[in-house]
Structures are given as C-alpha cells and as structure tokens.
Chains A and B, each alone.
Chain A
C-alpha cells in the first residue's frame, strides 16, 4: 500500500439502521434509551441528531460506533453488519480523549500504528497531512495540556480522520468550547467535510449548530428515545451560524422540539 492510496480518500459509506432498540438498567429504574429507531444516512451525507438530553442520540452513536450493542435491530454500513468498533467508523467525543502521555503527533499516530502495513515514515507523513488539514502542523510536538480546548478538538479530529474512515461519528464535540472557537470549528469542519467527503453523524443538543452543519437534521424525543421528524436543510455552503436564514430554520426545528415536549408532558400527565 503506498502513501497516495493511504491519504487518498476512502469513499464514504452509507448507514442503514432498522428497528434499533436499547434499554439500560440504572439502579432500580429501567431506561428505554432507544425504541425502534430506523435511520438511513446516505454516502457522504452530513446528518445531525438533535434532541433533549436522555433521548438516546448519544447511545445511538455509540451503537453505530460498535462500542455498545443494540438489544434489537440491524445496523449496516455499506451492507455489512456492525458488531464491534472498526476503523471504517471513527468517533470524536465531547471530551477530546487525547492521551496525555503522547504529544500531538503521537496521538494522531496512535490509530495509524494499528495499520501494520504502513511504514513508520509513511505513518508520520499521513499524520502530518491531517495535522495540516486541521491547522495544527506547528503544534505536532506540543503536549495535550498545552493545547486550548479548540486545539484539543482539532487534534481529536485529525486523529479520527487519520485512519481514513468511511464514517465519522461526532458526539457533541464542540459542546464544551466557547462560542468563538466553536464558530471557527464550524467553518473548518465544513471545509474538511467538503474536501474529504465523509459520511458524518453528528450528535448535538444545539439546534443552530445542527442546522449550520447538517444536510439533514433528525429530531429525537426522549422516554423512550424515538425519531420524531426529519428536516432537510438546503442552505448553501459554507454556512454562517449567524445568518438569518439559518436562524429561521433553527426556529422551525425549535418549535417542533417544544411541540413534542408538550405532547410528551401531556402523555405523562395522563
């Protein structure tokens, strides 16, 4: 395998989820995290899952990642069943989850080292390529604690992209960042997505963020976690989170979100 093939983009995968259910036992109460969730994500599509906390969107992401198992349902990437974590689906978490004993470059190299067919020099070149992509080429020998929150997430993004996955799974990756940093990362993520053409499933509770990034926003409702509605977002890219048309879309989704919450409250009241 040569370097060009390694950096050359993998074609994005399509995801197909059918009837996914998941229950948790926390203490004495049973939580119905996901109830009969079906979702299709097209090749190279950017889908955002939004909903109030406890609606199972993060659980669904973990199941797609293979980190957790569904009680029921089938999950396929490009027709292949998902049973365990795989390098075709890389994950970015809310915390960067970078390894403090490694510097930035070695963090990005971690996943690449698990590809034994790559030579050491090739790995480093691949890692540098992705560090450049996220704008951190000057920080390859910094330690994790020396990075700002935004730089940590950029490193995590580079680390997730480096094994050349077909699907990128992002679990509220920007939630802990300040607004300014976040806006910068919206721009970068859109640029990188346009360049690398990954299928992205992005979990957030921030509706504006979802509208800014997603081709489609999927609205979840809690107890039990279900998909309520899909919203197609046709705004031109790159999108600015502060644009009025984007705000309009967000408002529409917010209204739907609140409507469902009311319905839920009534259901509970009954």
Chain B
C-alpha cells in the first residue's frame, strides 16, 4: 500500500512538473505538448475506438508471432542441446541470427511477403525464435548432470527425462529467453509498423507514424505512453508470475 502510494505520488509530481514547464512556455507547444492535451488526445482516440482498435491489431500480431516463435523455438532448443549435429549447425545459425537486430528482417520480409500480415508475422517470429532456441539450449546445458542421473535411477528415460527433468530444470533460462524474445519481437514489430503501412490493419506503430506526418505531437507522445504501458503490463502479467514461481521454488528471491 505504501509502495503504491509513493509510486502514485511520484507520477503525480512528474505530471505536475511537466504541466508546469509547459505553462511556463519554455518550449513551443507544437514540440512539447502539455499532459492535458496528450490526455485529451488519448481520451478522444479511446472514445472513437481507434486507439483500442490499433492496440488490438498490434497485440494480435505480436501474440501470434510470439507464440509461434516460442512453440517452435522451445523444441528446437531442446533438440539443439540433445544432438551434437544440430548444435554445430542450427546452434551456430541461431547464435548468428540472434546478433542480428531483428528490425533488419523488415526489408527482407517486405520483399518476400509484400505489405501483408505475413510480413509482420515473419518479423515477430524472427525476433522471438533465435533467442528462444539459444536460451533453451543453454538452459539444458546448465542443468546439473546429477538430475539426469537421479532420474535414470528412478526409471526415467528418453522423452520422459526430457519433459519431466531437463525442461523444468532449464526453466530459469527458458523464462529469461522468453523475456528477451518478447523484447526483441515487440521492438521489431513497432519498427515494422512505423516503417510500412499494412492495409489489413492499423497498429500502434501506424498511429505513431501518422502522428509524425500530421505533426501532432500530442498523438506521438500519447501513443508512446500507450506502448510503454503495454510493455509494463506484459512484464507484470506475462513474466512476473513465472519469475515469482522460479524465485519461490529455486529460492532465488532477494527480499
């Protein structure tokens, strides 16, 4: 309760400071809109449904690509850890492609798929996949060998060992890989949406882009705030439960 209160106070003070600086007319209101005008924009965009619509379009793209990337990356990561041949080939490819900023996939995706949903999907998958493969692979590599030995003595072998021992044991790595994949996917999707217009749906990136075209700074800043809030929510809703689970089970919590 106290923490919530101090956070609220902090943000209220920040808004007041912002509003105060705008009222002092230090900068042109075209370049630095006041929080009130940003709020007004957000309110009207929410009222006419364009904000929610754009957010849903963006989130749908993100989730589809992200879930696909994870569903593909997790088993590929396990296989890469299991088979030396895959490790020497796919493992190396993943490492290389992971170093490539995922926004670099955008030009290629546009040439291959045109200005379509498929291009967006592709970019998000590329953002997620390689981090997921690498995180899963190094997770498995860091599992103490004694776990597998103990499991074998209890009659576990083959697929059972992989699903019931290796996979949960590498969970700390897998979760941080999921988090990194999410960050990469989110960033590259935003870049792609700002970069290209896709007629099948206007996302948050497009709203940001049109804000610039129209020189509507309150729209630019308003959408940026929305993007930040979505990022925060994703962290709290998607990853915090996993992290709390890990901290509780592994005993890695600090407080």
Please state if B153 and A143 are interface contacts (CB–CB under 8 Å). no
Q: Does B152 contact A (CB under 8 A)?
A: yes
Q: Does B248 contact A (CB under 8 A)?
A: yes
Most buried by A among B144, B150, B155, B164: B150
Q: A97-B147, A101-B168, A101-B169 are in contact. Are A146 and B153 (CB under 8 A)?
A: no
With a cutoff of 8 Å between Cβ atoms, the chain A residues found around residue B40 in the complex are none
B180-223 contacts to A, CB under 8 A, are none
Residue in B155, B168, B169 whose beta carbon sits within 8 Å of that of A111 in the complex: B155
Q: Which of the four size classes fits the interface of chain B?
A: 20 to 34
A74-106 contacts to B, CB under 8 A, are 85-87, 89-91, 93, 95, 97, 99-102
Q: A97-B146, A99-B165, A99-B168 are in contact. Are A143 and B249 (CB under 8 A)?
A: yes
Interchain CA distance A26-B250 in the complex, whole Å: 33
Please state if A86 and B251 are interface contacts (CB–CB under 8 Å). no
Q: Does A203 contact B (CB under 8 A)?
A: no
With a cutoff of 8 Å between Cβ atoms, the chain B residues found around residue A67 in the complex are 149, 152-153
Q: A100-B249, A101-B168, A143-B249 are in contact. Are A87 and B152 (CB under 8 A)?
A: no
Q: Does B26 contact A (CB under 8 A)?
A: no
Q: Does A49 contact B (CB under 8 A)?
A: no
Contact with A along B127-155 (1 / 0, CB 8 A): 00000000000000000101101111111
With a cutoff of 8 Å between Cβ atoms, the chain B residues found around residue A86 in the complex are 155
Q: Does B156 contact A (CB under 8 A)?
A: yes
Residue in A87, A93, A143 whose beta carbon sits within 8 Å of that of B154 in the complex: A87
Secondary structure of the A side of the interface?
Answer: loop
A214-228 contacts to B, CB under 8 A, are none
A37-70 contacts to B, CB under 8 A, are 65-67
Q: Does B23 contact A (CB under 8 A)?
A: no
Q: Does B171 contact A (CB under 8 A)?
A: yes
Residue in A99, A111, A143, A163 whose beta carbon sits within 8 Å of that of B248 in the complex: A143
Please state if B249 and A101 are interface contacts (CB–CB under 8 Å). yes
For this complex, 10 residue pairs linking A to B, each with C-beta atoms less than 8 Å apart, are A67-B149, A89-B153, A93-B150, A97-B144, A99-B147, A100-B249, A100-B250, A111-B154, A114-B155, A145-B251
Interface residues of B (CB under 8 A from A): 144, 146-147, 149-156, 160, 164-165, 168-169, 171, 248-251
